[in-house]
Chain A
């Protein structure tokens, strides 16, 4: 039942680069980047209920990993991606452990603190991390290459997320989100699953960060990973609708394409268009579509939903 929409999207994505100019391919790649990051955040916040406003920091970790490996050690760009995934995963676990003691707004504040502090590190260790002038890798790639790599990673990420979430881990995550007490009483180990969720989520963000650096001409610099990035990913996840994989594409399109569209909004568009339009849309979406796009979808598919619910084999 669900394969048809996936096949349609995949077909569109496969054909798209031939219809688009190089510049628009670049835009589509940015959508892929946000897709992966939002997917990761969705796993954390939508499926285990832990708020994070710090995913920009994980993206920074992944991005700098890729640049350092390829600039200083001449690694193949694609080979850096699994390393970025691994390092971000470990960092996610490290953040997840103290996060166990926090919840709700306290966790939001702590991850916010993390997001603000990590971009300061390249300034402190400027010899290794390039400081405010950033680090450049000499290997730059064409729009088409970036599109293919970006969306391949997005497809892998989607498949990975789906596999994780439909199995035992996914059920454990949902149990944690719905009621921690009930989860513990049914034998779900909170520390393991909550920390694991942080790790997986950070891994996704790390890969997204690596791709972001590649799309920025192979240039990593602290301003690319500011607090706004973390906020954008959170907002993208909210627009997508937490706890569902389907809206993620919509959320990613929203965040990825808004900066290109905002300047065209009349009157306010040209100066500060980005801020006003973005902020206004976020507020409106939270008021009108509190469950995001996925919630909106759910309204239109009551029959389908009950059919799926009735089927014990589907998640």
Chain B
């Protein structure tokens, strides 16, 4: 068991020195820029707030990938649907925070059910899983719009709208809350995968299902658990996103695209990478929007994806991914 623990630590972090140096340099650049120019500071802080939202959804994507080796194209819609569940609970006069945690529970069950009923029969084929999650995307979108309508609705923000000022920089309590919740989620996931037998079993079930079942891991249940937890993270992302995107069926669609970019940037296997990827993306987009004329509005999304492609080509496992040897 001790040997197992040692191997565990060696495998989990994929941060290389060059990447750390780049991140450190970027952080220094941001701090200096913020001290020099107030608009720079404001764009950076706004970018961090937006990036935290990207990161929160990217976390769910990364968790599913890490726990089950599949990409879930329906993650955003699932997050949106669970946010509507919370909305419905508040309509039934459930107090906000009770509704919040009930929604997390419901999301967990939903995630597990989807994995067992829809994903498990096809999980041997990457193409089949991609297609079925695409089908889920379309189905969930239609169901939500059918049940609740497509018009804009209001839900209170989890942490409230109060605005704080640090010099000329403004951020809301919600922005801070989203960032803290996202970081807390990363820490919880890290603890789960690093220090618990459950986390190890989940990793084993994803990477080496046959070997894992031989040592007594119940592979199917681990995969379902992965989906359940990812659905919970998605629900959190949805509830954190609602104050800026408002409650409408399309609310997560723009976020999903950037969340994919963030997840790939950070490395599809790294929760911390997903969040740092999201924060970097948010800041990057705001700064080039402010200072680079050609990077006009239409190109915002293509630029994010060009970045994604660049990372995929140069360092396919992202900034924080482990180098994976292709097994022959």
Contacts and interface: CB of A to CB of B under 8 A. Distances in A.
Task: Find out whether A and B make contact in their complex, taking CB atoms under 8 A apart as touching.
Answer: yes
A124 interface: yes
B32 interface: no
Helix, strand, loop or mixed for chain B's interface?
helix
Interface stretch (A86-94, A113-121, A155-163): A113-121
Contact of A231 (B134, B268, B316): B134
B146 A235 contact: no
B134 A282 contact: yes
A191 interface: no
B121 A234 contact: no
Interface string B284-320: 0000000000001011011001101100110010000
B127 A112 contact: no
A101 B131 contact: no
A140 to B, nearest CB: 29
Interface stretch (B7-15, B99-107, B136-144): B136-144
Contacts of A274: 142
B121 A53 contact: no
A116 B145 contact: no
Interface in A266-292: 268, 271-283, 286-287, 290
Contacts of B198: none
A175 to B, nearest CB: 16
A283 B135 contact: yes
A45 interface: yes
A247 to B, nearest CB: 14
A287 B139 CA distance: 15
A117 B145 CA distance: 26
Contact of A105 (B130, B140, B141, B146): B130
A106 B260 CA distance: 10
A123 B71 contact: no
A242 B128 CA distance: 10
B134 A287 contact: no
Contacts of A114: 305
B95 interface: no
A104 interface: yes
B152 interface: no
Nearest to A239: B131
Contacts of B128: 238, 286, 290
Contacts of B268: 105-106
A287 B260 contact: no
A114 to B, nearest CB: 8
A271 B144 CA distance: 11
Interface in A127-166: none
Contacts of A273: 142
Nearest to B74: A279
B275 to A, nearest CB: 18
Given A51-B126, A234-B134, A275 B141 contact: yes
B122 interface: yes
A72 B306 CA distance: 31
B131 A234 contact: yes
B298 A123 contact: yes
A105 B70 CA distance: 7
Q: Looking at A53, A278, A282, A283, which has the most chain B CB atoms within 10 Å of its CB? A: A283
Interface string A39-73: 00000010000010100000000000000000000
B140 A279 contact: yes
Contacts, number: 134
A101 B313 contact: yes
Q: Looking at B71, B139, B142, which has the most chain A CB atoms within 10 Å of its CB? A: B142
Interface in B66-93: 70-71
Given A124-B298, A283-B132, A290-B125, A276 B146 contact: yes
Given A110-B308, A116-B257, A120-B298, A282 B131 contact: yes
B20 interface: no
A14 interface: no
A194 B78 CA distance: 35
Nearest to B125: A290
Q: Looking at A106, A109, A238, A268, which has the most chain B CB atoms within 10 Å of its CB? A: A109
B274 to A, nearest CB: 14
A51 B302 CA distance: 20
A108 B132 CA distance: 14
A123 to B, nearest CB: 4
Contact of B71 (A101, A108, A286): A108
A117 B126 contact: no
A275 B88 CA distance: 22
Given A105-B126, A124-B298, 18 more contacts: A45-B127, A98-B309, A101-B312, A102-B316, A108-B71, A109-B312, A113-B305, A114-B305, A116-B257, A117-B301, A234-B130, A234-B134, A268-B142, A272-B145, A279-B142, A282-B134, A283-B118, A283-B139
Interface of B: 65, 70-71, 118, 121-122, 125-128, 130-132, 134-143, 145-146, 257, 260-261, 264, 268, 296, 298-299, 301-302, 305-306, 308-309, 312-313, 316, 328
Interface of A: 45, 51, 53, 98, 101-102, 104-106, 108-110, 112-114, 116-117, 120-121, 123-124, 181, 231, 234-235, 238, 242, 268, 271-283, 286-287, 290
